[in-house]
Structure 1
Amino acid sequence: MIIGELLPLLVAYWPIVLATSAAAYLLNNKFYKGLNKYPGAPLAAYTNWWRFFEVWGQKSEVTHVALHKEHGDIVRLGPNVLSFADPKAIKTIYGLNKGMTKSDFYPVQQAVSKGKRLQSLFSTTWEDYHAKYRRCVNGAFAMSSLVEYEPLVDSTTDVYIERTKELYCGEKKQRCDFTRWLQFYAFDVIGELTWSKRLGYIEKDQDVDGIIEFLNKFLSYAAPIGQMPFLDLILEKNPLKLQLEKWGVNKKVFPVTKFALDRSGERKDEMQKVRETGIVEKRPGRGIDLLTKFNQAQHDHPEFMTDAQVLAASTSMVFAGSETTAISLSSVFYHLVRHPKVYAKLMQELDDAAETGAIQQRDNNKVSWAESQKLPYLDAVIQESFRMHPAAGLILERITPKQGIEICGEHIPGGVIVGCNSWVLHRRPEVFGADVDAFRPERWIEADSLKLKEMKATMFQFGAGARTCIGKNISLLEIYKLVPTFLRTFEIEMACDDWKTRNAWFVRQSEFYTNFKLRSVPREVPSLMFLRKTSGVNKASSSPVETLMASRSIRTAWQLEEMGLDYKVEFSERENGKAPQQFKDDSGDALGKFPLLKDGDLTVGESGAIAEYLCEHYDTSNKLLPKDSATRVKCQRWIHASEATYALHALAILYTRWFGADNPSAAEKIEQGMSVNVCKDMDFLENELAKSGGKFLVGDSVTVADCMMLFSAQFILARQLGVQGKKWEKINQWIKDCENTESYKRAVEKTGHAL
């Protein structure tokens, strides 16, 4: 009866009814739980659509900072959402045993497999589940585990440095989209750390399998939809779509899942053994990866760590371990190139550390984790970069317990979403100083112990409390190692006016274009020490001695000239065929053999070792020792053959001539036998020159192979050691071509080399 009477009225006056209902709804939101006393954006109190569109606009971190600057420590972001700016709120909201739980913002980010949501450490709202999960894998992320992961990080860093040289410093030098390039590094490091195999970003210089594009779209969806999570139940996780996926219709496969399954399949037997025994066999020089750690956890906690959990833990590393690290790395390099004085000051610290031995010399200028922890200005720069540009750009939402809770002196009712935004906390003047908008690493060095403790407690880039980012230590390992390594290898300059940023949950950068060039470090020039002597008489045998004026030193001098390095020459005349004692003492070499290369505190002996040392530490463009494996192996073979084969056979004949006068018959037999070897050696050299495809041993350019082998060939032919009257046309032409190079002529002039 009543419905029959009301229905015509509702139909007749539906606009008024609708407007009244909407007004009642909005007013209820406005005064919901008494939150109307907290200021904020005008529309935020009435509807979550305000924060939806604010996040959709991808600049919400700027809005949040501005709102707190205008309204104070507590700002209302939605009918049931409060943002806190006071650092004291961190312990209350994110501390242990406070009764806070994650909001429905996080399940929006849960992946779906076969129609079922996949819980992860980050996205789960179940506190018991999170606690069990964390207990299982906590050891894999502990600070003590970093030493096991460092070789894996180093492996990717080596490839990254070499590819950077090739792509951005070589003949095809191009401008670098640095943020993108750092993202490739972060993804490949995570691949190496998780499966001992990179995903392939660095080698291919592209988004492998569209993983980054997928992640960008996913985060761009999750950030705004997470402000109104019911939308996710309509758009992505509605019952119909989930049921269809269970039936195999509308099936989706995350590209990383295939990679993870393939890697797990490759190591099936190894991982089965770990699961059964819990014993991990250490791999020399490789470290223990996360897949192994997760399987070890399965052995220890079989009731929880199922095969599905191991797979989920592995694949989630790509999400959790790449994006935030890439953003943080970009922030460090961006702020350095934007602040030249800071850049110069940090480089001075790195150079001083290398000079004093606080940083050891390694391939590609790599810096160890232990060394990086002893560089205070590096730490200050990284901390300030975290402060200026933290990765997450939204509040980390928590729901207050049913009974309510006091936060910063305010009683907040139960069921209210509360949180802090790192962008707001990191710009707290009372904590960091009045110049919070300035990049000034010195604040971390000038602060006394109490202030420093307060600053560190306010830093929120990894979250806080029980839900602190579990991969924090791994991210720090990557950042503290790559930053000094990259800076010691390359000079970086901006190639754009400024970068662009957009906040899709994480505040990602783009269009950060840079130019690189290989860095040369001012240092004392190397010294080349050698002996020389004019023709004379060896008193031991009374036989004439004809020696090279500069001997083997011409090899090193030519290599130094070819590399364009400054060096100084130190030589001494022989005394009765021997080096003067004072010259030996000055050399610092216990064997007393020459030539020697003195480079700073290092003394390098043996021609082959000198050649390899110069290539390793100074041939940054890989000109003399090419990088491709086939050519490199050829060059390395010639380095060692020059002494171990060619000089060995020739010197046997020379010594026989010198000291065989008392037994000419035996001396003749030795020379005949050695002559066969010498001719065989020279025939091989002739054939290799014919196949080289150029004027020199491995092509059209001088390499370390030519620098080492030329002296051996000159020596054999000039002394006619075992050549048996044979002539080698290509060898003779090669010698002429080498001797006609400007670099060789300069080396001869400096050393006085002559046959």
Structure 2
Amino acid sequence: MDSIQSHYLFPAAAIALVGYLLVSNVLAYRRLRHFPGPLLASWSYLYMIRVWLSGRQSAGYRGLNAKYNSSLVRIGPNDLITDDPEIIKRMSGARSKYVRSSWYRAMKLNPYDDSLFSMLNVKEHDKLKATLSFGYGARENPGLEQGIDEQIEQLVDLLRRSYISAGSTLRPMDLGQISQFFTLDALTRVAYGKAFGYLTSETDIYGYIKASEALAPFLVLSGEIPLICKVMFSNLVLKIVGPKTTDKKGMGVLLDVAEQMVSRRFDDSYSNKDHNDMLGAFIRHGATQRQCRLEIPFQIIAGSDTTATAIRGTLLYITTTRSVYDRLQKEIDEGIASGRISSPIRNEEAKAMSYLQAVIYEGVRMQIPFTGLLMKEAPPEGDTINGMFIPGGTRIAHNTFAMQRSAAIFGDDVSIFRPERWLEASPEKFREMTTVVEMVFGYGRWMCAGKTVAFIELNKIFVESKLYWQPNLSDSTEYNFVDAAVAAGYSVLNYDRIGVGSSSKVDALTDAQFQVEVAVLNSLATHARESLHATKIALIGHSYGSYISAQSAASSGPVVDALVLTGFSGTFAYFAPFVAGAGFRVARIQDPERWGSLDPGYLTSSDLYAETYFTFAEPYFEHRVADWTYGVASEPFAVGELPSLLATTVAYENITAPTFLLQGQFDVSACGGNCVGVLDSIKGNFSSASVVETVDNLPAGHNLFLHKAAPQAFGMVLDFLKQQGF
């Protein structure tokens, strides 16, 4: 009998298992059978696993809602996904009956307990968020903006110290890594009063980043597949492979740091001290030692990575979209010139810069900082949306990528990085687009508490790093005086005179006057001395700008400590060859795409050959540089500039600052193509200058800094400044 029973036992068990799986799959299929979706998703998690294995989760789900023409599409036995912002609002509102699903259970970097982000209990979540929210605002955390400013300065110092290429020395930088070092230091500084030192060491301290990158895919898989979550976060598995405070690297070290940091704050000898940081605000408003300890790991890793992703992506789009770069640079330059931008820029000042805000929001839309599914769970009684019943307990995911590429919301050119869409939008459309983009940080009661800090960092990083990102001419470091000066340890403020480049296009005859332009430079020099506390100021001018610089130095007196004039001869005896060679044309007619908005008083050269004739000298330049200069960098000049200069007697004799006159030997514009001896002949005009040095034999034409001799010229200028005590 026993043998007969054992003979049938295994087949019977197998049949029972198959029957159980069959019934389970049928029930799973029936549960959400009225929703469209891939066949695999109707009875198993194989579809979600396939998307996870692709390594491109956001792209894997992006087109589903459009493909099935439904705002709710099935992606698993108990799982839907939506690209409808209104459904997101419905699930996340303050009075919504939806709750966080099991997906959040896997989103805890301390696997033994819940942080604010992984907490499922709604009442406990709301209570803790109310307590912690004070730490993310400037009122209760007065060191918030200052702390970020300090790390901006550290970042700029790092760029200046380690990543400014000079001459043939190329110093490439891993922007992806450096951006995360910045956000990690910024976050730890404002959260705990002291940066961890990533920017100083330029290393992944304790392997936090490497550990989080290795852990992230498994957290994603655990969140999406409930059975895997139960296994991965079971007590047995955690006991065997979970992080421990005794670990020497990775997440265990992070848990240990959190424990030590919080324990110190709650120590009796420390408890009476008030700390102007997030942790201090948490404690002041009643957060327990355990709650503080649980928040730190998630803040450090998740909070820094999302902002770093936004910085990387947005900078990539800025530096590869010339029109955006130029317009953003113009807004920054105008803000600095008008005094609307401090150094470092204040958050409120950045928020008032309309194009900067458009760039930031467009950057976040295009390079989404976080694309997790953020699954919510339908209430026990279920819900009906768009006439379709959703059974209680169903998980509904955010299709964030699809929402950010919605043509209905953002326009038909939704796949293009175009910040102008934000400036063109009506107030109603602007509010709609803003709400949808901010959904990458969650919505309503589930909105990320750190969103404010993230936007402060974004508001500052693109303005403060402007001088160090110069995407003009490929392989152009040898022609970049700003980079050379910064590498030598100097701070640089470069600007375009009115009517030119990024500055306002004023009336070419009545406003673009030499005297007005001198007054502008005087104001900038005074601002640098009195407001920016510059210890020494050198004016460095080129061509027409050299005459402006000379007159400014003559009228500003002790405000200017040195004067460098290039493309300058101090005489207009060679004006005729310059005019004849340029073949001037009305700029708006010559190139309506670039200059169609200018008035007829702005002139430009007739063609590439004309401009090359009076600005370059064969064979001392690269033709690609001349092509770029004419097609990209050249700017028209106003008819009022030269007559107003000719009508002015530049007071060279009043210049007291040490002066360096530097000239290309073959400069047609300044000295008819043969400059040897010209500068020495006018040297006596600078009778009050303590030092006057001249160089007029460099192998170059008028655009001295765009010839092959540019590095040599840079070296001469910087050596002169050093000799004057700079």
TM-score by length of 1: 0.62
Partner of 2:75: 77
3-state DSSP of counterpart to 1:76: strand
Classify 1:494/1:262 alpha carbon distance in 2 versus 1 (closer, same or farther; 3 Å).
Answer: farther
How far is the alpha carbon of 1:86 from its aligned partner?
1.8
Q: Equivalences for 1:197-596 in 2 at 5 Å? A: 197-239=194-236, 241-242=238-239, 254-261=252-259, 263=261, 271-274=270-273, 280=274, 288-297=276-285, 301=286, 305-360=287-342, 362=343, 366-459=344-437, 460-492=439-471, 521-523=494-496, 568-569=549-550, 587=556, 594-596=557-559
3-state DSSP of counterpart to 1:406: strand
How far is the alpha carbon of 1:454 from its aligned partner?
1.8
Q: Deviations over 1:596-653 (max 9, x none)?
A: 32999xxxxxxxxxxxxxxxxxxxxxxxxxxxxxxxxxxxxxxxxxxxxxxxxxxxxx
Q: Deviations over 1:290-336 (max 9, x none)?
A: 12112212xxx3xxx32222222333320332011111111211111
Q: Deviations over 1:29-82 (max 9, x none)?
A: 222x2x112112221111113212312322121121121221122111101001
How far is the alpha carbon of 1:386 from its aligned partner?
1.4
Classify 1:743/1:491 alpha carbon distance in 2 versus 1 (closer, same or farther; 3 Å).
Answer: closer
Residue 310 of structure 2 aligns with an amino acid whose one-letter code is: S
Q: Equivalences for 1:646-685 in 2 at 5 Å? A: none
Residue 358 of structure 1 aligns with an amino acid whose one-letter code is: R
Partner of 1:29: 28
Residue ranges of structure 2 left out of the alignment (5+ in a row) = 476-481, 487-491, 498-516, 523-534, 564-689, 692-714
3-state DSSP of counterpart to 2:323: helix
Structure-2 separation of matches of 1:62 and 1:209: 32
How far is the alpha carbon of 1:266 from its aligned partner?
6.7
Any conservation in 1 of the 2:36–2:73 contact (CA below 8 Å)? yes
2:148 to 145, 150, 153: 153
- Answer yes or no: is 1:60 the counterpart of 2:33: no
Any conservation in 1 of the 2:98–2:379 contact (CA below 8 Å)? yes
Classify 1:332/1:16 alpha carbon distance in 2 versus 1 (closer, same or farther; 3 Å).
Answer: same
Structure-1 separation of matches of 2:207 and 2:552: 61
Any conservation in 2 of the 1:110–1:118 contact (CA below 8 Å)? yes
How far is the alpha carbon of 1:128 from its aligned partner?
1.9
3-state DSSP of counterpart to 2:148: helix
Any conservation in 2 of the 1:389–1:423 contact (CA below 8 Å)? no
Partner of 2:512: none
| Larger Rg, first or second structure (1 or 2) | 1
Classify 1:317/1:17 alpha carbon distance in 2 versus 1 (closer, same or farther; 3 Å).
Answer: closer
Which has the higher mean CA deviation after the structures are superposed, 42-51 or 172-181? 172-181
Residue 435 of structure 2 aligns with an amino acid whose one-letter code is: A
Which has the higher mean CA deviation after the structures are superposed, 164-173 or 445-454? 164-173
3-state DSSP of counterpart to 2:389: strand
Q: Deviations over 1:140-159 (max 9, x none)?
A: 22364575411111111101
Residue 224 of structure 1 aligns with an amino acid whose one-letter code is: L
Classify 1:526/1:395 alpha carbon distance in 2 versus 1 (closer, same or farther; 3 Å).
Answer: same
Classify 1:395/1:454 alpha carbon distance in 2 versus 1 (closer, same or farther; 3 Å).
Answer: same
Structure-2 separation of matches of 1:112 and 1:178: 28
How far is the alpha carbon of 1:242 from its aligned partner?
3.6
Classify 1:16/1:490 alpha carbon distance in 2 versus 1 (closer, same or farther; 3 Å).
Answer: same
**Percent of aligned positions that are identical:** 22
3-state DSSP of counterpart to 2:74: strand
Structure-2 separation of matches of 1:490 and 1:483: 10
Any conservation in 1 of the 2:245–2:255 contact (CA below 8 Å)? no
Classify 1:200/1:395 alpha carbon distance in 2 versus 1 (closer, same or farther; 3 Å).
Answer: same
3-state DSSP of counterpart to 2:396: strand
3-state DSSP of counterpart to 2:65: helix
Which has the higher mean CA deviation after the structures are superposed, 311-320 or 469-478? 311-320
How far is the alpha carbon of 1:8 from its aligned partner?
4.7
How far is the alpha carbon of 1:464 from its aligned partner?
0.3
- Answer yes or no: is 1:97 the counterpart of 2:89: no
Classify 1:248/1:133 alpha carbon distance in 2 versus 1 (closer, same or farther; 3 Å).
Answer: closer
Partner of 1:133: 128
Structure-2 separation of matches of 1:81 and 1:476: 32
Structure-1 separation of matches of 2:245 and 2:334: 62
Structure-2 separation of matches of 1:250 and 1:745: 52
- Answer yes or no: is 1:51 the counterpart of 2:33: no
Partner of 2:184: 187
Any conservation in 2 of the 1:51–1:77 contact (CA below 8 Å)? yes
3-state DSSP of counterpart to 1:105: helix
Residue 341 of structure 1 aligns with an amino acid whose one-letter code is: S
How far is the alpha carbon of 1:201 from its aligned partner?
1.0
1:109 to 107, 110, 113: 107
Any conservation in 2 of the 1:50–1:78 contact (CA below 8 Å)? yes
How far is the alpha carbon of 1:265 from its aligned partner?
6.7
Which has the higher mean CA deviation after the structures are superposed, 188-197 or 451-460? 451-460
Any conservation in 1 of the 2:143–2:190 contact (CA below 8 Å)? no
Structure-2 separation of matches of 1:328 and 1:247: 31
2:35 to 29, 38, 43: 38
Structure-1 separation of matches of 2:540 and 2:435: 55
Structure-2 separation of matches of 1:145 and 1:347: 34
Any conservation in 1 of the 2:83–2:398 contact (CA below 8 Å)? yes
How far is the alpha carbon of 1:410 from its aligned partner?
2.6
Q: Deviations over 1:439-468 (max 9, x none)?
A: 111111111111112222322111101010
Residue 277 of structure 2 aligns with an amino acid whose one-letter code is: D
Any conservation in 1 of the 2:180–2:304 contact (CA below 8 Å)? yes
Structure-1 separation of matches of 2:182 and 2:237: 39
Any conservation in 2 of the 1:89–1:408 contact (CA below 8 Å)? no
Classify 1:312/1:570 alpha carbon distance in 2 versus 1 (closer, same or farther; 3 Å).
Answer: same
Residue 280 of structure 2 aligns with an amino acid whose one-letter code is: T
Residue 472 of structure 1 aligns with an amino acid whose one-letter code is: K
Residue 372 of structure 2 aligns with an amino acid whose one-letter code is: L
3-state DSSP of counterpart to 2:191: helix
Partner of 1:177: 174
3-state DSSP of counterpart to 2:73: strand
3-state DSSP of counterpart to 2:384: strand
How far is the alpha carbon of 1:375 from its aligned partner?
0.5
Structure-2 separation of matches of 1:309 and 1:745: 58
Structure-2 separation of matches of 1:556 and 1:60: 54
Classify 1:97/1:597 alpha carbon distance in 2 versus 1 (closer, same or farther; 3 Å).
Answer: same
Q: Deviations over 1:176-202 (max 9, x none)?
A: 221111011011111101122111111
Partner of 2:161: 166
Structure-2 separation of matches of 1:485 and 1:317: 24
How far is the alpha carbon of 1:411 from its aligned partner?
2.3
How far is the alpha carbon of 1:210 from its aligned partner?
0.2
Structure-2 separation of matches of 1:314 and 1:249: 17
